[in-house]
Amino acid sequence: MLRITGGKVYDPANQVHGEVRDVSISDGRIVSRIEGGRTIDATGMVVLPGGVDAHTHVAGAALNFARAMVPENQRQAVPFLHTPERRMGLGGLTPTTFATGYLYAGMGYTTVTEAAVPVLSAKHTHEELRDTPLLDKACLLLMANNEIVMDLLETGETERAGHVVAWLIWAAKTYGIKAVNPGGVAAWKWGKNAKGLFDPIEGYRNVTPARIISALAEIIDGLGLPHPLHLHANHLGMPGNVATTIETMKLLEGRRAHFAHLQFHAYGGDDWPTMRSEAAQVADYFNAHPGFTTDAGAILFGNAMTITADGPWQHLLHELTGKKWGNIDVENETGCGIVPYVYKRSSLVNAIQWAVGLELLLLIRDPWRIFLTTDHPNGAGFWRYPELVQLLMDRDYRRERLKALPAKAQKRIVLGDLDREYTLSEIVTITSAGPARALGLAQKGHLGVGADADVAIYDERPRGEALFKTPRYVIKGGEVVIEEGQVRAMTEGREFVVRPGFDPQIEDYLRPLFQQVYTMSFDNYPVEAERVHGMQVAECRVSA
Ligand SMILES: [Zn+2]
Cis peptide leading into 377, omega within 30 of 0? yes
Q: Is position 28 within any domain?
A: no
- Residue 134 maps to a domain: yes
The answer to whether residues 203 and 328 touch, using CB atoms and an 8 Å cutoff, is no
Q: 144: CA distance to ligand 1 center in Å?
A: 14
Question: Would you say residue 528 lies in a domain?
Answer: no
**Residue 467, φ and ψ in degrees, nearest 5:** -60, 140
This prediction has a pTM of: 0.97
Answer yes or no: is 29 within a domain: no
Distance (angstroms) between ligand 1 centre and the Cα of 484 equals 31
Alpha carbon of 375 to ligand 1 centroid (Å): 5
* Cross-strand bridge partners of residue 340: 305
Measured distance CA(293)–CA(458) in Å, rounded:
28
Compute, in angstroms, the gap from residue 365 CA to the centroid of ligand 1.
23
The answer to whether position 357 is within a domain reads no
Rounded to the nearest angstrom, the distance between the alpha carbon of 260 and the centre of ligand 1 is 7
Residue 343's pLDDT is: 97
What is the distance in A from the centroid of ligand 1 to the CA of 384?
16
Q: What whole-number distance in Å separates Cα of residue 280 and Cα of residue 286?
A: 10
Ligand 1 centroid to residue 41 C-alpha, Å:
39
The rounded Å distance from CA 528 to ligand 1 centre is 26
**In one letter, which amino acid is 281?**
Q
Rounded distance from Cα 369 to ligand 1 centre (Å): 17
Nearest alpha carbon to residue 193 among 237, 258, 230:
237
Centroid of ligand 1 to alpha carbon of 62 (angstroms) = 12
* CA 295 to ligand 1 centroid distance, Å: 10
Q: 236 C-alpha vs ligand 1 centroid, how far in Å?
A: 11
According to DSSP, the residues that pair with 244 across neighbouring strands are: none
Per the CB < 8 A criterion, the answer to whether 95 and 103 are in contact is yes
CA geometry: angle 457, 76, 83, nearest 5 deg:
40
- Ligand 1 centroid to Cα of residue 251, in Å, is 21
3-state SS of 303-339?
A: EEEEEECCHHHHHHHHHHHCCCCEEEEECCCEEEEEE
Query: What residues contact 191, with CB distance under 8 A and at least 6 apart?
Result: none
Continuous segment of H or E residues that includes residue 497: strand 495-498
* Rounded distance from Cα 159 to ligand 1 centre (Å): 29
Calpha distance 134→103 (Å, rounded)? 10
What spacing in Å lies between the alpha carbon of 307 and ligand 1's midpoint? 8
CATH number at residue 481: 3.20.20
- How many whole angstroms separate alpha carbon 387 and alpha carbon 116? 25
Q: Please give the distance, rounded to the nearest whole angstrom, from the Cα atom of residue 182 to the centre of ligand 1.
A: 14
Residue 249 CA, ligand 1 centroid: distance in Å: 18
Flag whether 400 is in a domain: no
Buried b (16+ CB within 10 A) or exposed e, 242-270: bebbbbbbebbeebbbbbbbbbbbbbbbe
d(CA 94, CA 476): 23
CA distances for 363 relative to 121, 282, 316, 392, 513, angstroms: 38, 9, 30, 11, 48
Q: Is 277 exposed, middle or buried (0-12, 13-18, 19+ CB in 10 A)?
A: buried
Kindly give the distance from the C-alpha atom of residue 116 to the centroid of ligand 1, in angstroms, as a whole number.
Answer: 7
Residue 102 Cα to ligand 1 middle (Å) = 21
**What is the 117 CA–ligand 1 centroid distance (Å)?**
11
CA of 21 to the centre of ligand 1 (A): 37
Q: How far is the CA of 463 from the centre of ligand 1 (A)?
A: 29
Distance 232 CA to ligand 1 centre (A): 8
pLDDT value, residue 135: 98
Q: If you measure from the C-alpha of residue 66 to the centroid of ligand 1, how many angstroms do you get, rounded to a whole number?
A: 14
Specify if 5 maps to a domain: no
Among candidate residues 290, 267, 158, 273, the one with its CA nearest the CA of residue 217: 158
CA 319 – ligand 1 centroid, Å: 21
CA of 512 to the centre of ligand 1 (A): 33
User: How close is the Cα of 113 to the center of ligand 1, in Å?
Assistant: 10
Distance 502 CA to ligand 1 centre (A): 28
Task: Determine the pLDDT at residue 80.
Answer: 55
- The answer to whether the beta carbons of residues 164 and 506 sit under 8 Å apart is yes
pLDDT value at residue 76: 66
Residue 148 structural domain: 47-296+308-343+362-382+422-496
Q: Please tell me the distance between residue 374's alpha carbon and the centre of ligand 1 in angstroms.
A: 9
Overall size of the chain counted in residues: 544
* Three-state SS annotation for 217-282: HHHHHHHCCCCCCEEECCCCCCCCCHHHHHHHHHHCCCCCEEECCHHHHCEECCCHHHCEECHHHH
Q: Concatenated DSSP letters for 346-394?
A: T-HHHHHHHHHHHHHHHHS--TTSEE---TTTTSS-GGGHHHHHHHHH-
What pLDDT does residue 72 have? Answer: 81
Q: What is the pLDDT of residue 467?
A: 77
What's the gap in Å between 115 CA and the centre of ligand 1?
A: 6
Ranges of the chain whose pLDDT falls below 50: none
Evaluate whether residue 402 is within a structural domain: no
**Is residue 500 classed as helix, strand or coil in its secondary structure?**
coil
Q: From ligand 1's centre to the CA of 371, what distance in Å?
A: 13
Q: What domain count does the chain have? A: 1
**β-strand 45-49 against 455-459: which pairing, if any?**
antiparallel
> Side chain identity at 280, as an amino acid letter?
A
